Amino acid sequence: MEQKKQNPTAEDETQIISRRIQRISLHITPIPRPLHDHDNNLGLLPCATREKLEVETEKLSVYLRGKYRDMQEKIYEYFNARPELQTPVEISKDEHRELCWRQMYGLIRETGIRPLKYVAEEPAKYFAITEAVGAVDISLGIKLGVQYSLWGGSVMNLGTKKHKDKYSEKIDNLEYPGCFAMTELHHGSNVQGIQTVATFDPITDEFTINTPNDGAIKWWIGNAAVHGKFASVFAKLMLPTHDAKGVSDMGVHAFIVPLRDFKTHQALPGIEIHDCGHKVGLNGVDNGALRFTSVRIPRDNLLNRFGDVSRDGKYTSSLPTINKRFAATLGELVGGRVGLAYSSVGVLKIASTIAIRYSLLRQQFGPPKQPEISILDYQSQQHKLMPMLASTYAFHFATVNLVKIYSQMKMTHDEQLVGEVHALSAGIKAYVTSYTAKSLSVCREACGGHGYAAVNRFGTLRNDHDIFQTFEGDNTVLLQQVAADLLKQYKEKFQGGTLSVTWNYLRESMNTYLSQPNPVTSRWEGVEHLRDPKFQLDAFRYRTSRLLQSAAVRLRKHSKTLGGFGAWNRCLNHLLTLAESHIESVILEKFIEAVEKCPDASSRAALKLVCDLYALHRIWNDIGTYRNVDYVAPNKAKAIHKLTDHLSFQVRNIAKELVDAFDLPDHVTRAPIAMQSEAYAQYTQHVGF
């Protein structure tokens, strides 16, 4: 018997081969299956007979891209007309850094675009600019962000009129290239723990900046290694006192510190600059390390919007505590987080466009004695790419809304809006960048061997984007901030407080969604019901409410024995899931609103289809949660699964129009160099590589 198992007979091998052929045949030519017995019209129809929506790509594109389309086109046309400024596939670190500087310098000096003006006055326009330049080269997008959002933004948001008058124009025209020196070797996420110190000297009316130990070296500072001439340095402000301690720590503040001589470009006395070297990606950005040894700067170089020091060394602030000043400081810097979320969606648009165009044209296998079929006609390829395309649209509308409320916050300085933007930007940035990072690998795999060619961008996109999950706040830390805010809102609800706009649904959900699921609606499985936005949004919010209520109970229980910190750590994975669930609810809500507001009927129908796929795919992915509490009965779960498959097929039929509506230029979605063979050149010319 053992011998037979180890050496299968020819008959056994024949049976194995026969079974494999049968399985492959079923994969290539799936048997049409009805959604359920009374809805046979929604079965999986053959490709040629599937119903297809008529989509007017131009109208959909206009709705998607909004009023800053012309600005983005101006940027695309600038780089399209200058092939010498397009980043080649093979380029060294040093060459890439210099090219990135020339790209930014040329764009600013030759087009008249002034990003810093928009950072302050029209943030939505600034984010549209960063999306466009990031599509050309993500390194360029990040370098521009360092110059204008971080270095320029810190001066504009944390400084006062004297700083804006002195620096803003020269930051905008690149006479003053600068850095944002917050992160230290030993402290990244924990900004309050940074160790760099700025001690006031009342005799000379100066601050002395010092790096007290190696752990306090400023690290990963963009623009520092090569081009930066200034830095916004974040340090603990120390004031001399007459007690035993000798100094008083006033908390983290920002200071303008000159780094290099304008004539020689050499580091100024007391400043050591080191190169962080070659990175996994973003090698067009010159990250460096900074050490300060008794570097003296004028008292006026303190960015003093939230705290100031007088000539005689007295400290004044409109905010009474270190924690409130720190929160106000970081609150003004949240624009970088908003921009990263927005740019991450831009990267996802590029990757999904390339992968879907490839999948539409690439043909492999087919029914016997018939032509090969497009690989996007395989269910497995659709399952990889269609929910991703739906998510891309969902994220687009969610980040557009985030930019909108961020702009309102900048104009009104409303305290409630500040808190909402802080939590929402943290959650959307974490959720979107994590999803995009995973999707880049899926896109590469979906394009097979051709996806591995560097010329087709997936490797560069994946490597350059990867750090989006870390800078401007580590994603795991940011999701904890969202969870903490949800728990705070939960407490406010029971104390009768006012909930912020985004969290309003919690008041109803604690009363309605946490009651026993309706035994009738839990069994409804009709298509009209499943595609009803109310059912979809209710399901998302129900899940969030269950997670929130159970998290609160668990934290209360564990706090008695483990203390607050220990209880939080014990429940951490639960809290991260809660935060993600809430963000998914917000994203779906904004997608539904965008569908309803779309003025063109054909575009609205296409967006409704995509929105339904986004919602039902998410529900199906977490169907266990809904089944465990009988929110969804077994037959309804099966109906959701089958409808999700069907919607994926329908979205596949308009996939070309959906990616064309992103309206990305050829030099972004097609290889920028000549192909190695004529056949490959002809092939990729149509695919969009």
Residues with Cβ within 8 Å of 369's Cβ and at least 6 positions away in sequence, in order, are none
Whose CA is closest to 268, among 233, 320, 315? Answer: 233
Instruction: Tell me the CA distances in angstroms from 79 to 14, 84, 186, 673, one per residue in order.
Output: 59, 9, 39, 14
As a whole number of Å, the CA-based R_g of the chain is 28
Q: Do the bridges between strand 197-201 and strand 230-240 make them parallel or antiparallel, or are there none, so unpaired?
A: parallel
Residues with Cβ within 8 Å of 563's Cβ and at least 6 positions away in sequence, in order, are none
Instruction: Tell me the CA distances in angstroms from 118 to 20, 105, 122, 156, one per residue in order.
Output: 60, 17, 4, 11
Q: Are 551 and 579 in contact (CB under 8 A)?
A: no
Whose CA is closest to 42, among 655, 616, 654, 647? Answer: 647
The three state secondary structure string of 113-139 is: CCHHHHHHHCHHHHHHHHHHHHHHCHH
The three state secondary structure string of 267-309 is: ECCCEEEEECCCCCCCCCCCCEEEEECCEEEEHHHECCCCCEE
3-state secondary structure of 238: strand
Query: Has 222 been labeled as part of a binding site?
Result: yes
Q: State the Cα–Cα distance between residues 439 and 181, nearest whole angstrom.
A: 31
Exactly one of 184, 206, 472, 657 is catalytic; name it.
472
Angle CA 422–426–429, to nearest 5: 135
Place of tokens 């620096």: 167
Instruction: Tell me the CA distances in angstroms from 293 to 69, 186, 193, 213, 240, one per residue in order.
Output: 48, 18, 20, 10, 19
Q: State the Cα–Cα distance between residues 399 and 392, nearest whole angstrom.
A: 11
Report CA torsion sign: 602, 607, 613, 619.
negative
Query: For this structure, is 508 an active site residue?
Result: no
Backbone phi, then psi, for 252, in 5-degree steps?
-75, 130
Beta-ladder partners of 230: 178, 258
Residues with Cβ within 8 Å of 602's Cβ and at least 6 positions away in sequence, in order, are 53, 54, 55, 56, 59, 60
Backbone phi, then psi, for 200, in 5-degree steps?
-80, 135
Backbone phi, then psi, for 205, in 5-degree steps?
60, 45
Catalytic (active-site) positions? 472
Q: Give the residue numbers of the binding site for FAD.
A: 183, 222
